[in-house]
Structure 1
Amino acid sequence: MQLHTRTWGEGDRIALLIHGIMADHRTWRRVGPAIAERGYRVIAVDLRGHGASGRGAYSPQLFADDVVETLPAGAALAIGHSLGGLTLSLAVDRLKPQRAVFSDPAWHLASSEEGFGPEMFAEFKSAPREQIRAMNPRWEEADVDIELATLAVWDEATALSLAPLFGTDLLPTAPVVPSLVQLADPSFLISEDRAAILKDRGFEVRSVAGAGHTIHRDDFEGFMASLEGWI
């Protein structure tokens, strides 16, 4: 499926941005322009079931296939957040960016026994502003507005499609290209033990102190500082 995209900048280098579940390209409202200012042409997608992209069957493999079909191979940089990080890890061998950044990637989805499940994500579609604000006290008001707008057009079946993955470890066995794993502090997706495993497997791992799961909206300056040497 060809995905809807948003582009910032006209630089010679290309950077790719892949959002997480429930979001779309608008989550990168500050990141896209900031990377473009560094000489990149930045392309952000709306994954299927999100934003202005099409609907249909859903699975991580389909998300990855769409990204490969839509985005250019050989980009200088690719960043994937959460579900976008999982998607990027399933597409990186075909996209072949020079560098990859996995921002708090969804490589371990807690099982229902651990207090989570796909239904909880699906139910969040109807979350009111007050709940979003309370869960994300460091967000700017513009990001709360964007969250409400993206939830309104999000197909919650994308979350339900991930049910077989809950309780499963999805850590890559090795980086396909030089790769940074950027973590929230603490990360509910990548524990300290899993972070150590990733280091042993050849990934660079950095945490953004005090940042929540959506690092680029919780602490934009910390997010950008954490990318030093990678952008």
Structure 2
Amino acid sequence: MLLHAETAGEGRDTVVLLHGMTGSAKSWWRVTGLLADRGVRVVALDLPGHGHSPRSQAMTVPDAAASVAETLDAMDIRPTVTVGHSFGGLLLAATATTGRLDPGVAVFVDAPFATRGGHDRVEVQAEYQAERASRTVDRLRAEKPHYGERDCQVEARAASRFDPETAAAIAAGPGGTWLPRPGSIVVRADPSHYVDDATAAALTASGVDVRSIPGAAHSVWYSHFDAFVAALPEVFDR
């Protein structure tokens, strides 16, 4: 499966961006703009079942990870940095673990590194359908006070293009654990649902650089953009 990609900027370095569940390549609009202004080439992908990318009722985490690697191969892209948020971070870990992709500097933003799998497909699809329906501009304004107006518009549009069947296939498929390699960077909200203190300590012990942003939302760059940029000189100060 080849994924839809959006590119911006020109430069010696290439940063690849992988969004979270229900998002899209546009979710990174503020990050993309800053990097392009700083002379970095940016490639943001719509993950399977999101945005303008294909859908699949048989998708698994390894399949989705392979689609990231295949797309970048087809585009002849060798990333300097790859950033994955949430579900995108899980795919980044899965892709790097299998050796299908050399991500350059791998950055994980408040990402889970395991999925239980085996969910009831019908039930989880209904949950994703309800989540998609709830992510309207008005609801986002009310429930995400850290979102700006453009953030609300972008995320509502992304949700409208999100495919619950693809997401349900992934949730119903086999689970697994894919951990960041030593030398990777994890940026987490503090507190974090996905990277709690025990997980952060274990990652640090394994050679992963864990950086915390107190009070940040799960989409860290939406709520704490300046702190997010400051936490990642490897990405923004190239």
Q: TM-score range by the shorter chain?
A: 0.7 to 0.9
Letter in 1 for 2:113: W
Query: Relative to 1, partners in 2 of residues 1:38 and 1:165: Cα closer, same or farther, differing over 3 Å?
Result: farther
Q: Identity rate of aligned residues, in percent?
A: 34
- Measure the CA separation in 1 of the matches of 2:173 and 2:141: 29
Q: Is there any run of 5+ residues in structure 1 with no aligned partner, and where?
A: none
Instruction: Give the superposition deviation at 1:58.
Output: 1.8
Matched with 2:131 is 124
Q: Which of 134, 137, 148 is matched with 2:145 structurally?
A: 137
Q: Give the match's secondary structure for 1:74.
A: coil
Q: Deviations over 1:197-226 (max 9, x none)?
A: 111111000111211001121222121111
The runs of at least 4 aligned residues of structure 1 exceeding 6 Å deviation read none
Query: Relative to 1, partners in 2 of residues 1:219 and 1:169: Cα closer, same or farther, differing over 3 Å?
Result: farther
Alignment TM-score, normalising by the size of structure 1: 0.88
Q: Give the match's secondary structure for 2:26.
A: helix
Letter in 2 for 1:41: R
RMSD (Å), alpha carbons = 2.3
Q: Which of 153, 159, 164 is matched with 1:151 structurally?
A: 159
Alignment TM-score, normalising by the size of structure 2: 0.85
- Measure the CA separation in 2 of the matches of 1:214 and 1:230: 17
Query: Relative to 1, partners in 2 of residues 1:223 and 1:165: Cα closer, same or farther, differing over 3 Å?
Result: farther
Matched with 1:35 is 35
Is it true that 1:186 corresponds to 2:168 in the alignment? no
Write out aligned runs for 1:1-231 (5 A). Answer: 1-56=1-56, 57-71=58-72, 72=76, 74-92=78-96, 93-108=99-114, 120-127=127-134, 128-164=136-172, 170=177, 172=179, 175=181, 178-231=183-236
Letter in 1 for 2:66: D
Aligned length: 224
- Measure the CA separation in 1 of the matches of 2:64 and 2:51: 14
